[in-house]
Amino acid sequence: MITASHNPVEDNGVKMVEPDGGMLPQAFEPIATELANCSSDEEVASVLRDRVMATPATTSAHGAHAVERGALTVLVGHDTRPSAPALMAAALAGVRALGVHAHSCGCVTTPQLHFLVYLANNPGSGGSSGSSATAATAAATGPVAPPLQAYYDTILGAFLTLMQQQQQPGSSSGSGSSTTAAAPDVVYVDCANGVGAAQLQPLVPALAGVGITLALRNTGSGAAAGLLNHTCGADYVQKERLPPSDFADVPAGARCCSVDGDADRLVYFSPGDASSSGMRLWDGDKVAMLAAVFIRDLMSQLPAELLEGIQVCCVQTAYANGASTAYLTDVLKLPVVCTPTGVKYLHEAAHGADLGVYFESNGHGTVLFSPALRERLAAAAGSHPAAAQLLLLSRLINQTVGDAISGLLLVELILRRKGWSLAQWQSLYTDLPSRQLKLKVADRNSITTADAERVCVSPAGLQEAINAIVAKVPQGRAFARPSGTEDAVRVYAEATTQEAADGLAREVARAVYDLAGGVGPRP
């Protein structure tokens, strides 16, 4: 996938997709970096021979599934950046130079490409009917690129079926009030002037049919063309806590959401009025809680024997607000796993459970259903409506990677099903005030962490200093971790008041500055 996601329009890059539709394994990341920095064909051949083919994962896969290069296919997609066509041509030429088929999927979202790769290797799954002829062709010539319509058939088809089930008399809809006769909802969507605009368009008439009006803004057309992610998009809204451009006329309290440049992140927000203190934000933590509530409601309707041995978990990072963690553990009674920062860690942990819910606060996440759980749900679907609905939910939610389009459908389904407003969603729990700071240090590698980046192992004495500072603040929590991209340290702190959170972050930053070689003015 040729994209730079939420970054500025002048940037570009590559996201790699595995044959199962998942993300590139961490073991291949340094090898990919080596390949990207090769300066000649000879170097490329050398890295492929000496590094890639020597990797245990490659060796075992090659031995188990030996196949001629001519029977392999690489799917390539891109977003709306002006640099995409030239890079797409280069990518296709590079793949073909290795004797491998290359297929252009055109301008698609990153999650759509992940989905298509999975579907190409699993004919008959998802929204594709599949056929023995298709399977035979795939075996002879490499996977056949499925049509993009299969993506919509799967996620949108599941959404509409779930909405129709809700409207049937006697249907099981989880807890909360029925909204069969609900007035039409208007959802204003910030498309970040990116690929999400075109790929959300097929949803507009379909959702209108169930009483949801999608009003697409920042679509990249007209005067806004080329302003990808500029003062808009999920990253801007989540970090700046400001409404995106082209939303000045959206009424206060309106239901709004924002996707990023390649549509793999989703956050909700609502503009404030002149008397309020800015907009309200429903970030990835809030989306995760909403999904967890709905899934728990459905699972509570299933017989205990159906769920025997099934593991459910919610995955968070240290940046997840402490109030959300408390809500999961104390109210929903769901186990929580904490991982280091980075979606690859959360995705891997979620895969370790039969049902894993994860969303980073930036809005990237999904809900993963294991094959074993889906088999049980399929077997019970005929006699247990909740099992049938959970099975449909596993089709509505993109099982390969975080997906803003799939996420939007999930949120709208749950709000409709439970009859909730944004305010009722917000009232699930109240975030603890928090503050994030960044300070420069001489060498970020001097700071090492453990316990999912929540504890500083080095330099000596730093964690003890942080512990002493936190102990003085009621319900205080703080940690420091090295930046992954620059010689800087990121500090996170939360407490019962904003003033206390600000002070806690400042004191921890000073401890880092004093003990870890701070550079520049002391915080």
* 55: DSSP letter: S
**pLDDT of 373 strictly over 60:** yes
pLDDT in tens, 198-207: 999 999 999 9
pLDDT in tens, 122-160: 887 764 333 333 444 444 445 567 899 999 999 999 999
**pLDDT of 70 strictly over 90:** no
pLDDT confidence of residue 118: 96
pLDDT confidence of residue 498: 96
**pLDDT of 242 strictly over 80:** yes
Smallest Cα–Cα separation from 496: which of 440, 434, 416?
434
Residue positions annotated with a catalytic role: 5
Angle at CA 488, nearest 5°, toward 486 and 492? 125
pLDDT in tens, 448-504: 999 999 999 999 999 999 999 999 999 999 999 998 777 889 999 999 999 999 999
What letters, b where the CB count within 10 A reaches 16 and e where it falls short, cover 471-493?
Answer: eebeebbbbbbbeeeeeebbbbb
pLDDT confidence of residue 130: 38
pLDDT in tens, 95-105: 999 889 999 99
The separation between the first and the last C-alpha atoms of the chain, rounded to the nearest angstrom, is 41
- Residue type (1 letter), 157: G
Smallest Cα–Cα separation from 422: which of 251, 262, 181, 191?
251
**pLDDT of 38 strictly over 90:** yes
pLDDT in tens, 392-420: 999 999 999 999 999 999 999 999 999 99
- Residue type (1 letter), 499: E
**pLDDT of 331 strictly over 60:** yes
Pairing of strands 212-217, 185-190: parallel
Q: Per the structure block, which two tokens stand in for 380?
A: 């019970």
Percent above pLDDT 70 for the chain: 89
